[in-house]
Structure formats: C-alpha cells, structure tokens
Amino acid sequence: MISADKVLKNMRLTEKAAKLSSNFGQYTFEVFPAATKYTVREAVEQTFKVTVTRVNILNLKGKPKRTRAGRANTTSDSKRAIVTLKKGDKIELV
C-alpha cells in the first residue's frame, strides 16, 4: 500500500473541474507520473473518506515553447486523474 502523499499532488480547481464536480460528481487531481488507477483510487478513498466508482487517467505531454533568447524548450509533462464518486458522496474543498 502506497501513501496518499506519494500519489496525489493537488486538486485542480478550474471552471471545467467545477462544472464536472457539480454536475457529475467528478473531481480532478494532479498526480505523480508513477500513479496508477488503483493507487489513485486508494489515495482518494483514504484521504477524503469517500467511495470511488471510476478513475480516468490523462497523460499530458509538455508544450513546446521558446525562451527569450530564442532557444527551444518544453513545459514539463503532467498526469491528471478524473475521479468519479458514488452518488451522494462529496469532497469538501474548504
């Protein structure tokens, strides 16, 4: 069993995430690259004391950018998890 602080980085609070949570009971988390669906499920259930019904994982590749000096660079890659909770469960943000 892996601890939750080694799986979940933070919760994504955007307009799209707010719409998903209010309409569908889905919450978006930024997770570490080694996280799997099963470890994300365990971490969310342990941390927030809710029941998870489904986990979707998104692997986002970094975008190419240019520095001020004109050199090519990329932003860092990230991994996100969209977690669907059992009907009636909620995660209180504040």
**Phi–psi pair at 58, nearest 5 degrees:** -120, 125
For 14-66, how does the pLDDT look when each residue is reduced to its tens digit (9 = 90+)?
999 999 989 999 999 999 999 999 999 999 999 999 999 999 999 999 999 99
Write down the pTM of the prediction: 0.85
Please classify residue 53 by burial: count the beta carbons closer than 10 Å to its beta carbon, then call 0-12 exposed, 13-18 middle and 19+ buried.
Answer: middle
| 2 pLDDT higher than 80 | no
- Residue 85: strand, helix, or coil: strand
CA atoms within 13 A on the CB side of 38: 2
CA distance 40 to 38: 5
Amino acid at 29: F
pLDDT at position 83, please?
A: 96
